[in-house]
Amino acid sequence: MKTILQMKVKFLLVVGLVQLVSLLNAQVVFVVDSVPAKTRTDDTVFMASEFNGWNPHDTRMAFTRQGKRFVLELPQVKDTFEYKISRGSWQEVEVSSDGKDVRNRVYYPGIDTVRITVQGWRNMFEATKRTSTASANVRFLPSTLEMKKLNRRRAIRLYLPPNYNQRLQFPVIYMHDGQNVFDEATSFAGEWRVDEIMDSLYYTSGFAAIVVAIYNDSKERLNEYSPWRNDSLGLGGDGDEYAYFVAKELKSFIEKNYRANPNPKFNAIIGSSMGGLISLYIGLKYPDAFGRVGVFSPLLWFSPKVFEYVSKYKRRTDQKIYLLAGEKESETLVKDMKMLEHHLYKAGYKDEDYVKMKIVPDGRHSEWFWSREFTEALEYLFELRKN
């Protein structure tokens, strides 16, 4: 197992904290060579990525203006990661020359200099409203829900299956990073297309479920998605309170107001990246609430305490856990996932009836990957027959 210091160093490398630069020989330089003509002379350009919580205004990832160029020097890392360029908000994120969203940029290890051309900023095309891709049966709750232990409020968006008007009780799938679940217009890193996938599953197999998408607060995302503090970054530690909100407050609200089946074997908690980390924690802490857990590409290195937590756990229900990782995500993820699987095995998840791990050769840390694998995860968790 990596030492705590090693994990801290890896994290600092990824987020590019300046104090480590002098300790390393290799650097990677990101150069924005060209920006739209209407870019203001006093604008600051930032990098937003998974490793800073997709924060579009992270001062640690601010480019320095050098004439007409913007330059950001980071310690060279061994991991592939995706990112976008912004002017400090998602309203001013980079877009194409005609105002359309662009795919995430990808950094590949070993490249010393990355040259970037920004064709447009979103707010330059205010008349061009982002088109919603959400299905007709996706809706917001009328008001945000209170997170009592955190003194915050959170937007919730629901998918109701095509046969919802029938007198049935439905399985429920709870998901984090709700902006990315249903709708390209609200996503910050691409959407999972969960509504289209669920519609397809219903019409091909008859499986119908409610999906509860919990929107994140970009400023609090890393705090809420880990119960453990990352001292190097000064983030994390609100995960236990967030878990209480999901398992006790939100779940109770859904079961009171919708045709939700309360049986844990019909309730899943699923997330990716930091959402995968908190899904694992919530699933193990509240197995009597969530009998099905989907852990996609979790950032296990955020805190080594996750392994200690799992190693002390003892399975006491028929809970099923689905683990997913891609070989092209990072240098350490597959190794860490195998370590997690080992700890789960020792905790009583001894065969595929209780835990299944899938390692995908072309898998990357991206919404398109998690979307593609979503159906197979549901087939395992809810014991659906493959078509």
Q: What is the pLDDT of residues 339-349, one digit of tens each?
A: 999 999 999 99
Predicted TM-score of the model (pTM):
0.82
pLDDT in tens, 317-333: 999 999 999 998 887 89
CA atoms of 71 and 229, how far apart (whole Å): 31
* Residue 30: other Cβ atoms inside 10 A: 23
Please check the confidence at residue 10 and state whether its pLDDT lies above 60.
no
The neighbour count for residue 265, using CB atoms within 10 Å, is 17
Q: Burial code of 201-212, b = ≥16 C-beta within 10 A, e = fewer?
A: beeeeebbbbbb
Does pLDDT of 41 surpass 80? yes
Tokens 């908690």 sit on residue: 269
Q: Give the dihedral of Cα atoms 304, 308, 310, 316; nearest 10 deg.
A: -160
Give the pLDDT confidence of 295-311 residue by residue, as tens digits.
999 999 999 999 999 99
Q: With a cut of 90, say whether residue 23 has pLDDT above it.
A: no
Amino acid identity of residue 105, one-letter, is R
Each residue's pLDDT tens digit, 84-140:
999 998 889 999 998 888 888 988 888 899 999 999 998 888 655 678 999 999 999
Give the tens place of pLDDT for each residue, 131-140: 899 999 999 9
Cα distance between residue 285 and residue 262, in whole Å: 17
DSSP string, 115-161: EEE--EEGGGGTTSPPPP---TTEEE-SSPEEETTTTEEE-EEEE--
CA 177 to the chain's CA centroid: 6
Across the range 58-64, mean pLDDT stands at: 92
Q: Does the pLDDT of residue 47 top 50, yes or no?
A: yes
Whether residue 135 contacts residue 110, with contact meaning beta carbons closer than 8 Å, is answered with: no
Q: Could you tell me the domains of the chain?
A: 12-125 (2.60.40.10), 138-381 (3.40.50.1820)
Average pLDDT, the chain: 89
What's the confidence (pLDDT) of residue 332?
87
pLDDT digits (tens, 9 = 90+) for 163-197: 998 789 999 999 999 999 999 888 877 899 999 99
Count of other CB atoms within 10 angstroms of residue 78: 12
